[in-house]
A and B are shown apart, each in its own frame.
Chain A
């Protein structure tokens, strides 16, 4: 093909065009809700939406990393539940709060690394490995607690859900922090570069000297660890860790990732897009609640939005390619 001096700028534009599309979708949604109800566009409701989005949004960051490598992590919801109840038990045994948080992250990390080992050393397809982990982690959480929620924590721990920093709920601050960090990791670090390379062409990455197994395992570890972090926030929010928490979170996280323009085929995607995707889902749920739409209709609308977003994404891609 003939290269013309159209230059880099057009490229940059097309690179971010998809996010602009998703962002305009989010803004459009907000405009409609603003017009439809006086309760939507208030500071307190927007903070409320951000808080509601935080947990899925954090899980979706890990999911984005995994999906960029061309994999999938179905275990995030179960790992969240498992990490949550382990941490809750620790808190009930008077383990200091910082250490208990480390226990939650560590439990998530451990489950993620087991996923990674099954996928790299055991050569299992990610779908199968994490499907297995989904069941194992859930079952272990239920066994561990005999099926009962572990609840009631100190005010210090609860302040993770009730506290504020500069007027923002702590969970929102943590979410923003995770996204900034993840964005920097994906765009500026070796780990990020390798994540894209593995998803774009695993064989070529291997032949270019990328330690594919190590980095793949690391990515599943990150996903597990972020599930652990989400478990901390969810447990603080409900003042209870349930062994049945986080059911279907994998699907919400995948949906946020995919709405954000990350391709399930791997090699492409951004966490900025995922954040917008997670916000779209949260705004949609919030808005439909406020409008008093029944839960049945909500499911139809949310499903339609996912399908539409991906259809448009594919259409844009075809046009570009």
Chain B
């Protein structure tokens, strides 16, 4: 590794309507290093890299490659400069073979025909160089996620990329696959390729990174040698506050029973589910994918038809046949997929926030916009939602702020029972802590919470009581302090 910078970005600024995304960021990449880019969602990591890869145009600043100033016009131009990007969503054509994908658009041609043998020979060479034993004739659609990712890497190498940008490359990989990927990255380093590696995961940073640059609110808060820093310092730099405790659980007083579910059975796969929920309680629901956790939430919220069983709220049996009925009974549902289910992206913060409770603001069919604004303004302030205004479209907010808008929706509808499905998925460390704090405040105010989560530390850290689901029914129940990761997993797996 030499210390000469391959690439320098100086004083990069980028503005979007109403938002300053990057405010004079400096970034430097040396030859053969793995440079980690760290920051909360919305800190500007992706924006910075999109400028480098030509997807966005910078508003101001200077980029130099090998000392020459460059102006990256578009992604194709970036590729020709030797800058390749591997996004979380792969750009592969599923029906084409590995080799065809690697050379897509640049196929060796003779007399108008693609030289398939040449494609496969060269693809094999590159794949071998990556330490990968993959038949270039196999169609991409049959490959594992990790293998597809390696095809993307191979594609980048076939372009003679000198700078490789990887956006959360390990998000969908297993432990073993991550090891393989890291081996490949080390191989690339040895060949002098520089890697920009965007990740949320602290553990990976210390394993694969050489240097790390932390972004916060569109500014760089510093670049460090990975060996000379530690997790807590980096977290502090990311969020500008100390996180001594990741799960700031406070136990609220347990009040009266608000929700009682008995023998709930649905065609969607729930079998005879019974449990109860009290005011001020956080009920964690753990289980493997497909164990019926989301189905349970959907059934209670009136989205799936209930075949047998009953739901009572505050001691009264309710027939909940639609989300409207559920909302009227005091339920609120924060879905797993914010963008697909939680928010109407082209609508404003205010309109999203008031959507479930429009009735409350409506007189004779007319919506009282003034009262809506007052209500929305209150929640924006209370939850510290960062937005340039109530009329900002939610699509322009960061993940954490979007989640807060969803939460406000149900606060505004005065829900007394909150169902959180994967509340912190895709949310960064700082926003996570804020969401946990909000859960504490809700519980303290007497709200009852059902928290469905795949993250065991979250379940253990935040729940007063834990239910483990398996095959559509509740398999075990644990009190606070009783459960451990091992016990929950044992139960979820049915061992």
Chain B, range 318-357, C-beta contacts under 8 Å to A? 322-324, 326-328, 333, 335, 340-347, 351, 355-356
Contact indicator B323/A2 (Cβ below 8 Å): no
With A4-B19, A211-B322 known as contacts, the answer to whether A11 contacts B355 (CB < 8 A) is no
Question: Is B411 an interface residue, CB under 8 A from the partner?
Answer: no
B326 to chain A, nearest CB (A): 8
B18 and A6 contact, CB distance less than 8 A: yes
Q: Which residue in B343, B356, B389, B397 is a CB contact (below 8 Å) of A209? A: B356
A5–B388 Cα distance when bound, in Å, is 6
Is residue B284 within 8 Å, beta carbon to beta carbon, of the partner chain?
no
* B341:A11 contact, CB within 8 angstroms: no
B369 at the interface (CB under 8 A from A): yes
Minimum distance in angstroms from A50 CB to a CB of chain B = 29
Min Cβ gap A110→B in Å is 23
Note all chain A residues with C-beta closer than 8 A to B280.
none
Residues of B within 8 A of A12 (CB): 391
Q: Which of A179-231 contact B (CB under 8 A)?
A: 188-194, 196-197, 200-201, 203-211
C-alpha gap A8/B376 in the complex (Å): 14
Asked, given contacts A201-B344, A204-B344, whether A2 binds B21 with beta carbons under 8 Å apart, the answer is yes
A39: min CB distance to chain B, Å: 43
Q: Contact between B391 and A204 (Cβ–Cβ < 8 Å)?
A: no
- Asked whether, in the complex, the Cβ of B341 is within 8 Å of the Cβ of A4, the reply is no
Give the residues in chain A near B20, CB-CB below 8 Å. 1-2, 4
Q: Return chain B residues, CB-CB under 8 Å to A200.
A: 344-347
User: Are B386 and A3 touching (Cβ within 8 A)?
Assistant: yes
Residue in B23, B44, B324, B355 with the greatest tally of chain A CB atoms within 10 Å? B355
The residues of A that contact B322 with a CB separation of less than 8 Å are 209, 211
Instruction: Kindly provide the distance from the CB of B298 to the nearest chain A CB, expressed in whole angstroms.
Output: 10
Contact, CB under 8 Å: A1 / B367: no
Shortest CB-to-CB span from B313 to chain A, Å, is 16
A243 on the B face (CB < 8 A): no
Give min CB distance, B394 to chain A, whole Å: 10
Of A8, A196, A206, which contacts B347 at CB under 8 A? Answer: A196
Instruction: Say yes or no: is B387 at the interface (Cβ < 8 Å to chain A).
Output: yes
Which residue of B is nearest A15, CB measured?
A: B391
A2 in contact with B303 (CB, 8 Å): no
* Across-interface contacts of B343 in A (CB, < 8 A): 201, 204
B218 near A2 (CB under 8 angstroms)? yes
Q: What residues of chain B lie closer than 8 Å to A210, measured between beta carbons?
A: 323-324, 355
The answer on a CB contact under 8 Å between B351 and A193 is yes
Q: Is the CB of A2 within 8 A of B391?
A: no
Please give the distance in Å from B24's CB to the nearest CB on chain A.
12
Pick from B44, B326, B341, B362: contact of A190, CB below 8 A.
B362
Q: With contacts defined as CB atoms under 8 Å apart, how many contacts are there between chain A and chain B in the complex?
A: 134
Number of interface residues of A (CB under 8 A): 37
Contact of B388 among A3, A201, A206, A207 (CB under 8 A): A3
Number of B interface residues in the complex (CB < 8 A): 53
Say yes or no: is A154 at the interface (Cβ < 8 Å to chain B). no
CA distance in complex: A188, B362 (Å): 9
Given A203-B340, A203-B341, also A2-B367 (CB < 8 A): no
- Can you list, as one digit per residue, whether each of A263-279 has a CB less than 8 Å from chain B (1) or not (0)? 00001100000000000
| Residues in chain B near residue A188, CB distance under 8 A | 366-367, 369
**In the assembled complex, A10 has its CB within 8 A of some CB on chain B:** yes
The verdict on A292 contacting chain B, using a C-beta distance below 8 Å, is no
Once the chains bind, are B409 and A10 in contact (CB under 8 Å)?
A: no
Q: How far is the CB of A14 from chain B (nearest CB, A)?
A: 6
Contact with B along A233-275 (1 / 0, CB 8 A): 0000000000000000000000000000000000110000000
A267 touches B19 (CB 8 A): no
A8 in contact with B389 given A2-B19, A2-B218, A209-B324 (CB within 8 Å): yes
A1 touches B21 (CB 8 A): yes
A1 touches B19 (CB 8 A): yes
B323 pairs with A206, CB closer than 8 A: yes
* Most B-side CB within 10 Å, residue of A2, A197, A267: A2
Question: Closest Cβ of chain A: how far from B269's Cβ, in Å?
Answer: 20
User: Is B392 an interface position by the 8 A CB rule?
Assistant: yes
- Which A residue's beta carbon lies closest to that of B301? A207
A193-B388 contact given A1-B398, A209-B356, A210-B355, CB 8 Å threshold: no
For the complex of A and B, list the 7 residue pairs with the smallest distance between their C-beta atoms, beginning with the closest.
Answer: A200-B344, A8-B389, A267-B346, A209-B327, A209-B324, A208-B355, A2-B218
5 additional A-B pairs beyond A189-B362, A205-B344, A207-B335, beta carbons within 8 Å, are: A1-B16, A2-B19, A191-B365, A192-B367, A204-B355
Pairs A–B under 8 Å by Cβ, sample size 10: A1-B20, A2-B44, A5-B388, A14-B18, A201-B344, A208-B327, A210-B323, A210-B324, A211-B322, A267-B345
